[in-house]
Amino acid sequence: MRNYNLGFISDNDIFKHVKETVALYRNHITLKDFNKNIIDPVKLTFDAKVYGKSLDEIIESECIRQIDKTNTNRIGYFHQNLFKYAGNGWEVPDSGFDIINEEKHIFAELKNKHNTMNSRAADSVYRHMQNKILHDDKAICMLVEVIATQSHNEKWFYDGLSHEKIRRVSIDKFYGIVFGDGLAFFKLCKALPTILDDVIQELHVGKITNSVHDELHELSPDTFKSLYLLAFRTYDGFQNF
């Protein structure tokens, strides 16, 4: 482990946190995983023909997509749980708001992208914040966005409603509030490749184990046939595929 010199978090703590995140990362997929929600062979056939790819190439892309979807949630873990190391009253509770500071009366919900909430979810979050400031007149509620359209700390205007103490805050501004360093998030991003190199070297990870192709070929050496039998083996006519 090298010196990362972030200032707002110790080398040991950031290494530990990145290591925990990497350990949660999904790096394998089996046929059972692949077909957990029942794969659609018709769509994959369209994809292969329209994009001029083989079915094996399309299946590989779908495997990567499924792994990526899981790992997106792991990045959410990384962003939220880093604040466990902030000290000074900052907490990551098991329920309620994602990040809180009771002493400073700050209560935050963390979202990876500004546009990931549908209207129902946004309504729920906004009303949760309304309820908080109604019962705590010192409370400041923040919707913290990792990937925002721009750096900001502003009133959250939602469905014709707004309140000075209900705010949308990009994560760089939130790091500035939490750590007292306006460049803290920039420093973390700049150091992240080095930290990951050290973690990966220690954990000996870096490859994806994919048994989907081999398991499909056990059903049939014909990928097209095995893919359709995976989804439709009980459908009329497919017994004689």
The model's pLDDT over 176-208, given as tens digits with 9 standing for 90+, comes to: 999 999 999 999 999 999 999 999 999 887 778
Sign of CA dihedral 225, 230, 233, 235: negative
Highest mean pLDDT among 20-29, 67-76, 166-175, 199-208: 166-175
Query: In this predicted structure, what is the pLDDT of residue 115?
Result: 64
Sign of CA dihedral 134, 135, 140, 146: negative
pLDDT of 57 > 80? The answer is yes
What are the domain boundaries of the chain? Answer: 11-54+70-203
**The overall pTM is greater than 0.75:** yes
pLDDT of 1 > 70? The answer is no
Query: In this predicted structure, what is the pLDDT of residue 241?
Result: 80
Q: Which residue has the tokens 């803290």?
A: 184
Pair 110, 76: CB distance under 8 Å: yes
pLDDT-derived band at 114 (thresholds 50, 70, 90) equals low
pLDDT of 132 > 90? The answer is yes
- Of 167, 156, 147, residue with least CA distance to 76: 147
pLDDT of 138 > 90? The answer is yes
The model's pLDDT over 5-16, given as tens digits with 9 standing for 90+, comes to: 999 999 999 999
Cα separation, 116 vs 147, in Å, equals: 10
Query: In this predicted structure, what is the pLDDT of residue 118?
Result: 83
Highest mean pLDDT among 69-73, 110-114, 140-144: 140-144
| Residues of the chain above pLDDT 90, percent | 75
DSSP state of 30: -
Q: DSSP assignment of 200-211, as one string?
A: HHHHT----EE-
How much is the mean pLDDT over the chain?
A: 92
| Least confident interval from 34-38, 139-143, 211-215, 237-241 | 237-241
Query: In this predicted structure, what is the pLDDT of residue 156?
Result: 94
b/e burial code for range 164-186 (CB count within 10 A of at least 16 → b):
ebbbbbbbbbbbbbbbeeeebbe
Mean pLDDT of 14-39: 92
Q: Residue type at 99? A: I
pLDDT of 116 > 80? The answer is no
Cα separation, 222 vs 125, in Å, equals: 49
